[in-house]
Structure 1
């Protein structure tokens, strides 16, 4: 028997007798099923020192990025493995049913693959809800836009087998028995979008967040309407065996919800709800393809010097000048980063319309603004405030922070300062401030746009391997085996 085992068991029995395990601190105490020698799912993971994950290779779950494995669900499971103190083993070469089969058989400790919480799934226990999944109908531009289930009748519709999309179609068919579709386990959402874009499908049912992530790559595909009620993303665990690993995962998910980490992770991968209007996003992607390559080296050089992400600097430059080296405003600011004469002189920029000098000077100026902010402001709030100062000046930012403090808000949080910036345009507020009037609402839009442009560039660079083959030629070569669900087939 391992050293310390009897002591730990005696301590737990004593604590149970005292009622301690009924307190909120119970999560800090070791459970009996964690102890060496006990047979449980959790102790098995600790014994072998790794967590076995089965997933799918998709932009929303797991894929190889520039710096190694990434993806929303992969990142979440990795954090769970870190909390357990074990490494993470990933098997990603599966479709949905393959992941569920591996979980049922015990080959996988858990499945995280865009799975819908369905208590009726045989052999599977599901975790707490992770995020909401809204099935939507997408369609090829040029068709009459479908706005209801009735409009789908007679169309060639695709969906992923065993997915929430098929579940939504089956639910819709209860009231519309004439509805039919094609489903397959050989494709992923991006394949379906590509087939819609190429004309091989008229429409498809996928999740809103998956379309949001990929739609900028498929300008010929439009969002139709939401199909049914939102579903729930969850992790899958074997129904056989004990609940120790599932319970630990549930506590982890609850904590991620409570501390806001899950929401932040969701935003980092899928963007904000007030994402750039689609046409504007497409225009930005079009400009990126036409012009960004010729300035990438300059952005990379400035990024190496200042430590900023080069894509952030590119986003600032697009917001400032649309990557026009000779851009000039009525107020006299000029160049790729639209520097004033005073700022250019302070940054030793001799020629403001020289792209390399402008980008380098603008990056160093932003670095200076970040460094001038009080040390108490954390990241990333610090960066958002520095961007606002780049737009309206450090004095006006200080006024907004002062207003936040007077209103009982936190002057070190961007979200609170952002609420105060529009007040700099209202006389009843700016007359009482040291620096007077400023276009504070414009600064809010300025920071918002740069963040969205940065998000789009991040999507493009980290997802290029996922989407480029589909956009270019893969859709034409896809030959999946579809199960055709005809209108007179049983739902």
Structure 2
């Protein structure tokens, strides 16, 4: 998949071709790029690099590269490739001007030249809480699995020659953590940011220890210096840009936008939610009811979304600048005619309008209540990604109209081996799955709390955690389950 922000001018291409086809000295790389008007960047789909969010392209490396292109007055052409090895190949072959989101290693330095390291993240060994916690790497010999082609694999072979581990082809760190959390693998290693993100979705995932003397050191990669004068121009500008971004604090702000909140998010327990209903919901209940009547939706579903988004805080602002009770982005607010996202009434009406549109947009073959859960996933990660998950299911002869199947498929959007089959690439499918489960649990509690009969306590309020999900389809109105996936 490629994201092209601006068409190349035919005249510029012709002029460059003429220059290259004559005896005139070949222009340097930076001069070529400036003539073409486009900076080509190679990367992979991942939570830390580049992905399509609800409102378009996002990711730490994407934002960093986009700002660099803007500074140079260039359009940005993002070349998404299957894995880090393909990023290196794109750079060395000249198909891409820069490779971003790469960990530096001695082996990779033999193939490309790196800018100075601009990010260093601890590497953590993760295991399943139901297994014995390993004390060191030696205890994991023969039971450790890493992504194939990772920079760490080469380093471990060099520094720990007696350590036995396996590598998994076409599997990234997120997929391996999924396997660890589900008991299929014993342990893996990932950078701390990715671990923190995934621990929100996998309560059984634990950090055993940091890999001693190791960290993920990230830099941009360029083709090695050639004989042509001017090859250093872009490289030097990138070094200066990254250093300036670090010195001015822009790097820290960008890092906090994507990674600073990961440990603050997550599912607040059902009992805590029930306590907060009494303290916070009464103020906004009339607004949720009014929006529910206007859009023919259960007001308790809207209230559950609002709690998941902001904990009913009218002043809530996320690191990505979405804001308000329903945490609308600027683009979504404009789409549903919300002028002030901080206004509670506008925010709740806007969120109701948007979830209603998602419900109506779902294929007719998706029936209620699954249609609601599909729409909630689209509210979180975007309609296109939900359709990608449905296509993956269809290709595997699984019914794409059932939530129980879509719930299985959403995490596939984080896994390299599936991305070639998608139209919209990487998505935070684990987050979407957790999001829907949380909203369903909150809704279940609200139904129970507002039902005069108050019969069986919902699973999300059960004192027995092992009972979560039991009898989940017996709730009144929209049947929902607990967030125990």
Pairing 1:232–2:217 present: yes
Pairing 1:264–2:200 present: no
| Residue 117 (structure 2) aligned to one of 103, 107, 129 | 129
| Residue 252 (structure 1) aligned to one of 223, 227, 241 | 241
Match of 1:322 in 2: 273
Query: Residue 91 of structure 1 aligns to a residue in which SS?
Result: strand
Shift of 1:89: 0.9
Alignment of 1:109-188 (within 5 A): 109-116=97-104, 118=106, 121-155=109-143, 157-174=144-161, 177=162, 179-188=163-172
Alignment of 1:79-118 (within 5 A): 79-116=67-104, 118=106
Shift of 1:363: 12
| Residue 194 (structure 2) aligned to one of 210, 230, 233 | 210
User: What's the CA shift string for 1:459-482, capped at 9, x where partnerless?
Assistant: x935995999997358899998xx
Distance 2:139 2:180 in 1: 16
Shift of 1:79: 0.7
Checking the alignment, whether the CA contact within 8 Å between 2:128 and 2:181 is kept in structure 1 is yes
Distance 2:283 2:159 in 1: 52
Match of 1:298 in 2: none
| Residue 232 (structure 2) aligned to one of 224, 233, 243 | 243
Shift of 1:222: 1.2
Shift of 1:116: 2.2
Alignment of 1:1-150 (within 5 A): 39-116=27-104, 118=106, 121-150=109-138
Shift of 1:335: 2.7
Match of 2:426 in 1: none
Match of 1:194 in 2: 178
Structure 1: runs of 5+ lacking an equivalent? 1-35, 291-320, 340-353, 371-378, 385-456, 481-491
Query: Residue 103 of structure 2 aligns to a residue in which SS?
Result: coil
Shift of 1:130: 1.7
Checking the alignment, whether the CA contact within 8 Å between 1:191 and 1:470 is kept in structure 2 is no
User: What's the CA shift string for 1:172-231, capped at 9, x where partnerless?
Assistant: 514xx1x21111341212111112122221111111111112221122221111113323
Distance 1:86 1:196 in 2: 43
Shift of 1:72: 0.7
Distance 1:201 1:121 in 2: 31
Query: Residue 138 of structure 2 aligns to a residue in which SS?
Result: helix
Change beyond 3 A, Cα 1:87–1:151:
same
Distance 2:285 2:105 in 1: 50
Match of 1:11 in 2: none
Match of 1:461 in 2: 380
Pairing 1:335–2:282 present: yes
Distance 2:31 2:109 in 1: 26
Query: Residue 264 of structure 1 aligns to a residue in which SS?
Result: helix
Checking the alignment, whether the CA contact within 8 Å between 2:124 and 2:210 is kept in structure 1 is yes
Structure 2: runs of 5+ lacking an equivalent? 1-23, 287-298, 325-375, 390-404, 418-485
Distance 2:410 2:158 in 1: 32
Change beyond 3 A, Cα 1:96–1:334:
closer
Change beyond 3 A, Cα 1:247–1:182:
same
Checking the alignment, whether the CA contact within 8 Å between 1:135 and 1:165 is kept in structure 2 is no
Shift of 1:158: 1.5
Change beyond 3 A, Cα 1:221–1:248:
same
Query: Residue 170 of structure 2 aligns to a residue in which SS?
Result: coil
Checking the alignment, whether the CA contact within 8 Å between 2:200 and 2:267 is kept in structure 1 is no
Checking the alignment, whether the CA contact within 8 Å between 1:54 and 1:102 is kept in structure 2 is yes
Checking the alignment, whether the CA contact within 8 Å between 1:96 and 1:185 is kept in structure 2 is no
Change beyond 3 A, Cα 1:203–1:255:
same
Checking the alignment, whether the CA contact within 8 Å between 2:174 and 2:198 is kept in structure 1 is yes
Distance 1:197 1:245 in 2: 43
Shift of 1:251: 0.6
The alignment of Structure 1 onto Structure 2 pairs a total of residues equal to: 301
Checking the alignment, whether the CA contact within 8 Å between 2:258 and 2:320 is kept in structure 1 is no
Distance 1:334 1:72 in 2: 35
RMSD: 4.5
Shift of 1:54: 0.9
Alignment of 1:266-305 (within 5 A): 266-271=255-260, 275-276=263-264, 282-284=266-268
Scaled by the length of structure 2, what TM-score is found? 0.53
Checking the alignment, whether the CA contact within 8 Å between 1:323 and 1:336 is kept in structure 2 is no
Q: Which has the larger radius of gyration?
A: 1
Higher helix proportion = 1
Checking the alignment, whether the CA contact within 8 Å between 2:103 and 2:216 is kept in structure 1 is no
Checking the alignment, whether the CA contact within 8 Å between 2:101 and 2:218 is kept in structure 1 is no
Checking the alignment, whether the CA contact within 8 Å between 1:133 and 1:208 is kept in structure 2 is yes
